[in-house]
Amino acid sequence: MTESRVDTVATPEVDEVVDPSAARLEVRDLTIEYSSGGYTVRPIDKFQLDASAGELVLLLGASGCGKTTLLSVLAGILTPSAGSVRVGSTQVVGLSGAALTEYRRKHVGIVFQAFNLLPSLTASENVQIPLRGTGVSTRVARERALALLNRVGLADRVEHRPGDLSGGQQQRVAIARALAQNPPVILADEPTAHLDYLQVDSVIRLLRSLADSGRLVIVATHDDRLVPLADRLVNLTPRREMESRSPETTELAAGEILFEQGDPGELVYVVESGTIDLVRTREDGAEELLITVTPDGYFGELAPMFGLQRAATARAGTAAKVTGYTMRDFRARHSGTVGELLSGAVDATEGDA
Ligand SMILES: Nc1ncnc2c1ncn2[C@@H]1O[C@H](COP(=O)(O)OP(=O)(O)O)[C@@H](O)[C@H]1O
Ligand SMILES: [Mg+2]
């Protein structure tokens, strides 16, 4: 299936005028928790974001870091544990009933990784789905679908079914569908994940053009090839591994906490004296002692190495002294492969803090 070029057909004729104040996003202290096998995971922790009309924001981060979770809250599909989301003049958290339906329909358009088109319907019919039950006549809905498909460069594919379209074309149908109600905000979850580079090209141009026409476009991806596309980059899993800085020695009184489960982690620690307990808190509040680290043992290497959150709390069992190293400095001291490093850590199997 050949890909038609978006740049020749992106005629801005479909409600491209978006009220800029309706495309303002303000996220404050957003925290999202899930329960996972008896533990609480908190992929999004006190997250802040400001963005406005005309911007393309890239949410970048490894698989599992919370991109879909975050988009789901912005879309009004998932209720967060704490914090607020404002889109235009709407406070999204706390919306219910008709107001929530109205928000989901009119304010945000969603583009999924897997396109989510109905295979038995034509491109035009797929784009018309969001217009059903909104009082729009069949004729008007059909005309609007045609205009939108023209907007995304698929005027010649209106009657095709998804199975007869390339991945890039299907994604453009999905984008046309997301635009059906002319939302000021477009949310796209890994929109290029299943596409080859030719198809990626047309989808990228299209997303960029939606921002340039005055919408706010938020794209979640782990594909850092998309970085040049962004006006604003939000890295959900910053890695600090390559930074070098002086080792930090910390003295802890018995019972004092070095880091908490769920914290971001930058340093790996070597115990100089005393003991450190690695404990994990269960969802019901009960604590499990994973391991006690004694002098010359080390712990906490997974978080800085892989950009993960701390999987346990580190608390002094007795008065203790620990030294924290960046991963790079630590590896300079402990020669060996990553495998040896991981198996040498006292907490490598269970207490992967
Ligand atoms: N419904 C759910 N129940 C429990 N845990 C979940 C649920 N959805 C996602 N998670 C967990 O939340 C974290 C973030 O997931 P997700 O938002 O899908 O990440 P991403 O989209 O960045 O790959 C993961 O650890 C995942 O296992
Ligand atoms: Mg995801």
Domain layout of the chain by residue ranges: 2-235, 248-343
Query: Rounded mean pLDDT of 283-288?
Result: 87
Counting from 1 in the atom list of ligand 1, the atom nearest the Cα of 222 is 22
Give the type of residue at 325.
Y
Residue nearest to atom 9 of ligand 1 (CA): 69
pLDDT of residue 16: 67
pTM over 0.85: no
Work out the percent of the chain whose per-residue pLDDT is above 70.
90
Centre of ligand 1 from the C-alpha of residue 213, in Å: 32
pLDDT of residue 345: 59
Centre of ligand 1 from the C-alpha of residue 98, in Å: 28
Residue nearest to atom 6 of ligand 1 (CA): 34
Q: Is the pLDDT of residue 14 over 70?
A: no
Band of pLDDT at residue 95, cut at 50, 70 and 90? very high
pLDDT of residue 351: 41
pLDDT of residue 115: 77
Q: Is the pLDDT of residue 108 over 60?
A: yes
Is the beta carbon of 337 within 6 A of some atom in ligand 1? no
Band of pLDDT at residue 343, cut at 50, 70 and 90? low
Is the beta carbon of 262 within 6 A of some atom in ligand 1? no
Is the beta carbon of 344 within 6 A of some atom in ligand 1? no
- Superfamily for the 2-235 domain: P-loop containing nucleotide triphosphate hydrolases (3.40.50.300)
What does pLDDT average to over the chain? 87
Band of pLDDT at residue 163, cut at 50, 70 and 90? very high
Q: How many CA atoms lie within 13 A of 100 on its CB side?
A: 12
Phi first, then psi: what are they for 188, rounded to 5°? -125, 125
Most confident residue range from 140-144, 193-197, 340-344: 140-144
Band of pLDDT at residue 2, cut at 50, 70 and 90? very low
Counting from 1 in the atom list of ligand 1, the atom nearest the Cα of 72 is 17
Alpha-carbon distance values, 272 to 15, 249, 252, 291 (Å): 65, 9, 11, 17
Is the beta carbon of 221 within 6 A of some atom in ligand 1? no
Counting from 1 in the atom list of ligand 1, the atom nearest the Cα of 70 is 17
- CA–CA gap between residue 183 and residue 87 (Å, rounded): 11
User: Which tokens belong to 229?
Assistant: 């596309």
Ligand number, closest to the Cα atom of 35: 1
Q: Is the pLDDT of residue 240 over 80?
A: no
Counting from 1 in the atom list of ligand 1, the atom nearest the Cα of 236 is 22
Q: Could you identify the residue written with the tokens 């209106």?
A: 158
Band of pLDDT at residue 88, cut at 50, 70 and 90? very high
**Residue 301 has what DSSP assignment?**
-
Band of pLDDT at residue 298, cut at 50, 70 and 90? very high
**Contact, 214 vs 54, CB < 8 A?**
yes
- CA–CA gap between residue 324 and residue 304 (Å, rounded): 11
Q: Is the pLDDT of residue 157 over 70?
A: yes
Indicate the range of 118-132, 154-168, 225-239, 291-305 predicted with least confidence.
Answer: 225-239
Counting from 1 in the atom list of ligand 1, the atom nearest the Cα of 35 is 4
Q: Is the pLDDT of residue 253 over 90?
A: yes
Centre of ligand 1 from the C-alpha of residue 43, in Å: 7
Phi first, then psi: what are they for 119, rounded to 5°? -65, -25
Q: Is the pLDDT of residue 167 over 60?
A: yes
pLDDT of residue 242: 54
Centre of ligand 1 from the C-alpha of residue 32, in Å: 10
Domain 248-343: assigned CATH number: 2.60.120.10
53 Cα distance to chain centroid: 20
Tell me whether the CATH fold assigned to 2-235 matches the one assigned to 248-343: no
Residue nearest to atom 5 of ligand 1 (CA): 34
Enumerate the H helices of the chain as residue ranges: 67-74, 97-106, 123-128, 138-151, 167-178, 197-212, 302-306, 327-333, 338-344
**Contact, 235 vs 247, CB < 8 A?**
no
**Contact, 290 vs 310, CB < 8 A?**
no
Centre of ligand 2 from the C-alpha of residue 75, in Å: 14
pLDDT of residue 349: 39
**Contact, 231 vs 55, CB < 8 A?**
yes
